[in-house]
Chains A and B, each alone.
Chain A
Amino acid sequence: MFIINCPYCGERDQTEFSCGGEAHIERPKQPTELSDDQWAEYLFMRKNIKGVQFERWNHIHGCRKWFNVVRDTSNDKIHAVYKMGERPPVK
């Protein structure tokens, strides 16, 4: 049970948040132009890294804002938190 520093509310317990999976998977602007394989890549393919991973989190029992978290999945250490639309910090 880790603590997440919500960029809008500050440090809160993990129970207030829900994870939305891998970050920076942008919805294709023109889905109809894509082949089945390309669409499947967007739709289904997710990394599941042991180590530093970029994730989407939602402060669902708080301000309900979505934001990004850089988390090491092997020890839950959070390296950075940043708002949607902001550039990810360099590794």
Chain B
Amino acid sequence: MSNNLRINKNNFIDQTVRISFKFNGKKLFGYKGDTLASALLANNIHLVGRSFKYHRPRGIMTCGSEEPNAIVQVGKDPALTDPNVRATEIELYEGLEAFSQNCWPSVNFDIGGINNFLSPLLPAGFYYKTFMWPASFWEKYEFFIRHSAGLGKSPTEPDQDLYDHQFVHCDVLVIGGGISGILSAKLSAEKGLNTMLIDDKSYLGGSTIYQDDDIFKINNETSNVWLKNQIEKLKKIPNLKIKNRTSVAAFHGYNYLLARENLTDHLSINERKEKIRQRLLKIRAKKVVIATGAIERPLIFSNNDRPGIILSSSIKKYIDYYGVKTGENISLFTNNDSAYETAISLNKSGVKVKIIIDIRENPSSILSEKIEKTGIKILRGHTITNTDGYKRIKSIDVMKLSKDGENVVGNKTTYKCDCLGISGGWTPMVHLFTQSGGKLKFRNNDNVFIPDENKTPSEQISVGSSNGDFELDDVIINTVKNIKIFLGLDKNDYENLDIKCSKEKQKRNIWLLPSNKPISKSKPFLDFQNDSTAKDVKLALREGFKSIEHVKRYTTTGMGTDQGKLSNMHALGIIADTTGTNMGELGTTTFRPPYTPLTFGAIVGRNVGEFFDHTRRTAIHDWHVENKAEFENVGQWKRPWYFPKNGETMYQAVQRESKAARESAGILDASTLGKIDIQGEDASEFLNRVYTNAWSKLAIGKCRYGLMLNEDGMVYDDGVTTRLGENHYIMTTTTGGAANVLSKLEDYLQTEWPELNVYLTTVTDQYSTMSICGPNSKKIIKKIIPSLDLSDESFPHMSFKNSKIDNVNCRIMRISFTGEHSYEINVQSNYAKDVWEKCIEAGKEFNITPYGTETMHLLRAEKGFIITGQDTDGTLTPSDLQMDWIIGKKKYDFIGKRSLYRSDTIREDRKQLVGLLTDDPKEVLEEGAQLVESLEKPIDMLGHVTSSYFSPNLNKSIALAVVRSGKKLKGKKLIVPMENKNINVTITDTVFYDKENKRLNA
């Protein structure tokens, strides 16, 4: 380390604690309290990265979240490496390893640097203009463009870090821990309000905390000493919470804010173990105080991007806070008084300031007078026209400005320097204000957009420099005055402070500084990260782009990870100047969250892996696991898919299960079907209105299949409903539709038919259902419940009986989704596994075969039964499904009835459900495959396959499909074109097996 760059004077850096770190593989060290940027500067490293487009060498330019250049890759671990980290924000920790981005093979020798010399060929919109044709070549171009674009590298392995979410409620949230934030928080907390103060740095006090010059005094103490005392008092207030290292990312309506709290990024790797890395705070505040401060603007002149060119206030912070000299021979270039504060700080620390170039003619103030006494040369009314130095600035060219500021006059003088501080004034940080819906107004005298107090959303206030107050006395007086009104406070200690500070006398602003060279020969950078220049903006205007939003997208100005914090104002200014518009009328681009980038980890929090979604398991789940079921996700449910035996494939298992169910007995866990208990004296009328068929005449103890439509006439859900009593039904729904069906029914009951006396209760979880089917199902039920009369007379198909298995009450329905003689046993879920095991035990002699969803699907397809959501997609009416029989023609009304004879739903060329048989019975179609009539181009798509299986009971391939005018096409030959073959199929009836339904009573 070049020790002479580190001075020993301040309280902020602990020079007793050395921290070693690596940058681009080189071992370096800094001190506790450093950021990576301050430690690099102390090691005399300015060049940290290459620019995005031209690969120009770039250095550290700021000291905060607005940094456009010094963004680095942190860490090498494939799971933990972090791209695009701002070196100015990351705190130094033992073992930190950082790398430059966007350069190859190294930051010192970067092949992409050739782009800099090609830059005349790479104007704004270069890619749009060049790679337009031939269109088919885009894929080839894209490969190279993508390869050369991008900044950091994403981790390649899953993130092992822990992230957390937390809800926070408070009376007052203060964003920003600078002097105005401190005063606001203290006034709020002292009033007894539950207050939270958030700051993105590790310390409080903003830039005032290191402002130790005696020009700035409060009650006869220098401003830093006074503020430090206030902070000490603040920290003792119990109803105040302080969150450091926390950055507010978004400010939504109703004072809902998101903030990211960094908990471990400043710790050494060993200290991080078992700790939460970041916490996303979801804050609901009654009132919000925005005290986010302002950031310094750069100045726009040719080659203003060289390493060693730093914002002047950042140079001041590096010297006053970190004790780091950013150079040995520093010049300053400014249009306002801020650079003079920097000069004072540098002068005190013994750093040579050779020259201050000020574009103003007569910038006299307390600050400039103090500088003049030190003998530092001030060139008034001058500008820098160019800079030199490739990897570090070496010299500047200075010329006199014309009176109107449009040109330069006289001779050029060159001055040597190794660091240049630039200051183009200040930009209030109004991002959060506008995110929340606030509107800005333009203040002409110093060219800033500030919150419009008449267009500020309620229950929030902006104070301090984020509200456009830049002088110490204005900041304090206005903050105290406004907070007093905002919080309804009485008199307080801050109202009569004795404040001394310098006042800026003259202002002059030139958005694009003139040069002795034509603009086409210069490189005045606006957006340092995205490499867009003032030339690009002017080109965009010449090409006809007028809206600031369009210019932004065309030139990419303000579209980097820094979101144009440094560049947007100048882009606006240059557009306004070029087009002769007032900036206030031009408006700004939209500020969108997040203010600084969020990690995906913080966004998802704990909702990863098994916590990503709820998992629902049936009461019989453990038995399925013990019996080696493979599971399928159906909504949130885990359903047995099939039960492979002895290494069977899925196909083999399903073939075996399907045969067993038809030849002897099968058993299915159907507990996931939605079950809604319906009671009330109008229950029958209610069912009449929600189902397409008639319900009033259904006898107690009988079951009926129902089809439910949307008002548009499209099939929505289906299932069997059983009448348990005079005014008592139990409805079953599809597994996936259960929650939505209940919501829909509740909606109609509450809003359209409040006169109906009906109560709905979901009992999906309370009851478990097992379905036993096959020719031996009757014998198995007989074994379990010997007392039950199972004769067809007493217990016919589509009927139900209450019964008991041992002492467990159960409902037994004789209903079938397979076409076989079958029974559904419904029991209270806590007895379900026991009853299931009894069924298995009783069925052993009949080779009872547990089957899963796949066999269930196959068996019902053999019978042509639809599955809503598989064979339907919200565009099919009952008639399209060839289910006209289920529409109650005599019913006056039901949900969707009127839509069944709209001009569109009665079209004959709608897609309709049909069966398909392949000419080759062994050929199984792919679900989703398209159906066509001929292969002559242009090929007309007639429909697609919705269900397809190889049926072991028919020994051939079967499928269901939806086909245009399908009902009329029975017997028609169609083609299913696949990637490497064409399959010939014939349209058939939808029922493939047991068309006479003989097996139901077998």
- A interface with B by C-beta (< 8 Å): 1-3, 13, 20, 26-28, 30-32, 34, 36, 39-40, 43, 56, 58, 60, 64-66, 75-76, 84-85
Contact = CB atoms under 8 A, between A and B. Distances in A.
Interface stretch (B96-104, B378-386, B893-901): B893-901
Interface string B249-268: 00011101000000000000
Contact of A34 (B252, B256, B284, B898): B898
Interface in B696-737: 711-712
Interface string B443-458: 0000000000000010
Contacts, number: 53
A1 B747 contact: no
B903 interface: yes
A43 B902 CA distance: 11
A84 B253 contact: no
Given A58-B747, A66-B751, A39 B898 contact: yes
Nearest to A32: B898
Contact of B253 (A27, A40, A75): A75
A85 B754 contact: yes
Interface in B93-134: none
Of the candidates B252, B256, B712, B898, the one having the most CB atoms from chain A within 10 angstroms of its own CB is B898
A61 B737 CA distance: 17
Interface residues of B, number: 23
B711 A43 contact: yes
B253 A66 contact: no
Contacts of A13: 284
Contacts of B898: 28, 31-32, 34, 39
Which 3 A/B pairs are nearest by Cβ-Cβ distance? A31-B898, A1-B256, A2-B254
B892 interface: yes
Contacts of A27: 711, 752
A39 B899 CA distance: 8
Contacts of B750: 65-66, 84
18 contacts: A2-B254, A3-B254, A26-B752, A30-B893, A31-B898, A32-B893, A32-B897, A34-B898, A36-B903, A43-B711, A64-B743, A64-B746, A65-B750, A66-B751, A75-B437, A75-B457, A84-B750, A85-B754
Given A36-B902, A76-B253, A43 B751 contact: no
A84 B893 contact: no
Nearest to A27: B752
A31 B743 contact: no
A43 B897 contact: no
Contacts of B754: 84-85
A40 B711 CA distance: 10
A1 B284 CA distance: 10
A44 B272 CA distance: 56
B141 to A, nearest CB: 40
Given A27-B711, A30-B893, A39-B899, 6 more contacts: A31-B898, A32-B898, A43-B899, A75-B437, A76-B254, A84-B754
A32 B254 contact: no
A36 B750 CA distance: 27
Contacts of B899: 39, 43
Contacts of B897: 31-32
Contact of A1 (B254, B743, B751, B902): B254
A18 to B, nearest CB: 8
Nearest to A23: B751
A75 B438 CA distance: 10
A50 B18 CA distance: 59
Nearest to A42: B711
Contacts of B903: 36
Given A1-B252, A1-B253, A2-B253, A31 B747 contact: no
Contacts of A34: 898
Interface string B898-921: 110011000000000000000000
Contacts of B437: 75
Contact of A43 (B252, B256, B712): B712
